[in-house]
């Protein structure tokens, strides 16, 4: 089994094909941020104002609550918030490579990245923000006064030999559409094929 010595990296995508144009339009119309010449997608989460931005566990758990809310409320649930965060909420930016075709799939991917951060914290690994997970997913708090040096963490830090190993141990009951999303995430990893997720 391949290890994480080769980190996940975004797959370069051109904007010339109709598939890419359609996909980017779909995600932009849903209110998400997409980069022009890569497959990177960004989500802004306005987390609870009582969250301690210096406490990574607090930020990650608050991000999970906001992901849950955005995935379940009835209207405009996936669109990134605009303007200044309301009611002193704290804006957190999540960006990662995605081949997802819909905003719903993007949010499911973010949920799995969130689970990885939670496990890393539960096992005693401490980090600050901005933080980079396995060369793939960046989480940052959009407060310039808090910006520090990018920190790096990995599921290998908590005993997983690969992303496939981590994904295989996620409880299926915790994730709607788990099988589909893990396939999308494995597709981002150069050392994996979709067959490895079967």
Q: Which tens digits make up the pLDDT trace of 138-181? A: 999 987 565 678 999 999 999 888 888 888 777 554 444 444 44
Please give the model's pTM, rounded to 2 decimal places. Answer: 0.77
H or E element that contains 43: strand 40-47
> Is 59 within 8 Å of 41 (Cβ atoms)?
no
Q: For 88, which DSSP code?
A: G
Residue 186: CB partners within 8 Å, gap ≥ 6?
A: 163, 164, 167, 192, 193, 194, 196, 197
Range scoring the smallest mean pLDDT among 108-112, 127-131, 166-170, 183-187: 183-187
For residue 14, is pLDDT > 60? no
pLDDT value at residue 9:
43
Q: For 24, which DSSP code?
A: H
Q: Where are the domains of the chain?
A: 18-187
pLDDT value at residue 187:
44
For residue 75, is pLDDT > 60? no
CA atoms of 23 and 18, how far apart (whole Å): 8
For residue 75 the two structure tokens come to 């209207």
Q: Which tens digits make up the pLDDT trace of 44-57? A: 999 999 999 999 99
- Lay out the sheet containing 40-47: strands in order across: 33-34, 40-47, 90-97, 137-141, 131-133, 151-153
Share of the chain above pLDDT 90, in %: 36
More reliable by pLDDT, 136 or 8: 136
Other CB atoms within 10 A of residue 151 CB:
14
- Write down the H helix ranges in the chain: 18-29, 56-72, 103-122, 163-168, 178-187
Q: Which tens digits make up the pLDDT trace of 97-113? A: 888 888 888 898 899 99
pLDDT value at residue 148:
75
Using the CB atoms, write b or e for 16-29: b if 16+ within 10 Å: eeeebeebbeebee
Q: Which tens digits make up the pLDDT trace of 18-64? A: 446 778 888 888 889 887 677 789 999 999 999 999 999 999 999 99
CA atoms of 57 and 117, how far apart (whole Å): 9
- Write down the H helix ranges in 90-175: 103-122, 163-168
Matching residue, tokens 């309301």: 86
């Amino acid at each position: 089994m391949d290890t994480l010595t080769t980190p996940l990296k975004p797959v370069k995508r051109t904007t010339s094909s109709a598939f890419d144009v359609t996909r980017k339009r779909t995600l932009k119309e849903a209110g998400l941020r997409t980069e022009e010449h890569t497959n990177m997608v960004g989500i802004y989460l306005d987390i609870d104002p009582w969250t301690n931005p210096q406490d990574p566990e607090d930020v990650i758990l608050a991000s999970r609550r906001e992901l849950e809310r955005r995935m379940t409320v009835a209207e405009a649930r996936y669109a990134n918030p605009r303007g200044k965060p309301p009611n002193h909420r704290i804006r957190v930016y999540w960006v990662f490579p995605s081949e997802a075709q819909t905003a719903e799939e993007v949010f499911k991917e973010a949920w799995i990245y969130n689970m990885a951060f939670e496990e890393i914290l539960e096992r005693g690994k401490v980090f600050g923000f901005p933080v980079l997970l396995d060369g793939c997913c960046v989480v940052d708090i959009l407060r310039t006064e808090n910006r520090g040096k990018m920190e790096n963490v990995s599921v290998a830090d908590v005993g997983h030999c690969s992303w496939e190993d981590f994904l295989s141990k996620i409880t299926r009951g915790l994730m709607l559409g788990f099988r589909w999303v893990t396939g999308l995430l494995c597709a981002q990893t150069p050392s994996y094929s979709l067959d490895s997720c079967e």
